[in-house]
Structure 1
C-alpha cells in the first residue's frame, strides 16, 4: 500500500499536528505489511503556478477543447502533480486550522490537482462525475479552540466541511478526521488534546480495513478518459475570470 502524506504545516517536527500524524504512520508501519509512505511537504515543494499558460490551459479543458502546444510544457507540470497524487492508495493529510479554514499552501495544492478530465469530469447533462474512487483519507488537524459539534465555536469550522466537500467532489468519501482541540487555552489542555488524538490515530491504523486498502483499490479513472490532446491551433480563449 502506498500512503501519500500531504503536509500543510510549516513547523516541521515542532508541529503538534505532525506528532499526531506520526503516531498514525508509525502504527500503520507496525501493524500493516508492505506500507510505503511518501511525503509531500507543501512548504518545501515547488508547485506549478495556476496562472498564465496554466490558467489558459485549464479553461481550454473546461470548454472541451484541446490544449495548444504553446501551453503543453507548462501544463505538464500540473499533470505530474496529478499523477503523483493518483499514484497513492490512501492519503494522510496533516493540516492545522488557520483562520477557521486551511493553510494557503494546502489550498494552492488543491487548486493545482483538482482539474477537469483528471480528477472529475462533466457528463452529457453537465453534472460533475468524480473520478477518484476506492481510496481512503485520514485528515489530522489541530485547532486553537474547541470547534467540536455542539460547541459555540462549531459554526466557525470551515475546515472540515470544505475538505469533505472538495475531496468528496472528486470521489474520496471515506474520510476520517482526527481533530486535536483546544490547543491554545492552557498547556494542560493542549497536551491532553494531543495525547488523545495520538491514541486515536494509532488505533485507526490498526483497523483491519487499512490492511485491505490496496486490494480494494479501484481505477482512478474509471471512465477511461485521457487528458485532452495537444494541437497546433490556438484554442478559443475563455472570458471567465
Structure 2
C-alpha cells in the first residue's frame, strides 16, 4: 500500500449522528478516516459534531442578510456581526480538501441537524453564484466526499424500499449544486432487520470503507493540496 509523505490534507468530518459508541454510521465513517490516516500520514482531521455544537440561526438578521445577498446588495451594517457566524462556518467548510459525512437515514432522509447545517453554509456568493442568465454556477471545486450512511431497513438497489432512500439523492444534489461531484456512499443497510443480516451488512460496509480509503485518488488529492 503506497502512501504520500510531506503533505497535508485537511479532512472535515461532518457528524450527524447523536450516538457515539453505539452508532453504526460512525463506525463506518471512522473506518474511512482511519484508512485515510494510514495512507496520508499528515492528514489533518477536524470534526463538526452537529448534535453537540451550536450553529448560527438562519432567521432574524441572518435571513435578512441572505436575501440581501441574493439581490446582489451589500449586507446591512446592522446584520454584519451576526452574518460573520455564518461566514465562519462557510470558511471552515471551504478550507477543507475533503469531507466525510456521517449521515444515517432518518424517516427516509437526512437528520435534521445536517439539513440545518447545509442551510447554514450553502449561501449565494460563497458556495454558488448566479450568472447573467440567472443560472447557478458552483464555486467549490477539486474536493472529494465520502458519505457514511446506515439505516434500520434495507434500502439497497434490489430492495422495494430503495426508492424511499432520499438521503443519497438529496446529498448528491445539494453538494453537486455547489461543485462537489466526487461523492462516494458507503452504505450499511438493514441494521434493524436481524442479527445475522445486521452483522453481514456492517462487515460489508466496513470492508467497503477500507476499499474507499485505499483509492489512489486520495493520494492525487493530497499531492494537489501540497503543490
TM-score range normalised by the length of the shorter chain: over 0.9
- 1:24 is paired with a residue whose SS is helix
Correspondence for 1:35 = 43
Residues 104-115 of structure 1 aligned to structure 2 (within 5 Å): 104-115=112-123
- 1:183 is paired with a residue whose SS is coil
Task: State the alpha-carbon separation in 2 of the partners of residues 216 and 120 from structure 1.
Answer: 23
Are the equivalent residues in 1 in contact too, given 2:126–2:139 (CA < 8 A)? yes
TM-score w.r.t. the length of structure 2 is 0.93
**Counterpart selection for 2:202 from 194, 197, 213:** 194
Task: State the alpha-carbon separation in 2 of the partners of residues 21 and 13 from structure 1.
Answer: 12
With 207-216 and 194-203 compared, the bigger mean Cα shift is at 207-216
Are the equivalent residues in 1 in contact too, given 2:20–2:26 (CA < 8 A)? yes
- 2:13 is paired with a residue whose SS is strand
Are the equivalent residues in 2 in contact too, given 1:95–1:139 (CA < 8 A)? yes
- Point out where structure 2 has 5 or more consecutive residues left out of the alignment: 1-8
Residues 92-241 of structure 1 aligned to structure 2 (within 5 Å): 92-216=100-224
Task: State the alpha-carbon separation in 2 of the partners of residues 121 and 214 from structure 1.
Answer: 27
TM-score w.r.t. the length of structure 1 is 0.88
Superposition CA RMSD, Å: 0.9
- 1:67 is paired with a residue whose SS is coil
With 100-109 and 204-213 compared, the bigger mean Cα shift is at 204-213
Task: State the alpha-carbon separation in 1 of the partners of residues 198 and 224 from structure 2.
Answer: 37
- 2:73 is paired with a residue whose SS is coil
- 1:124 is paired with a residue whose SS is coil
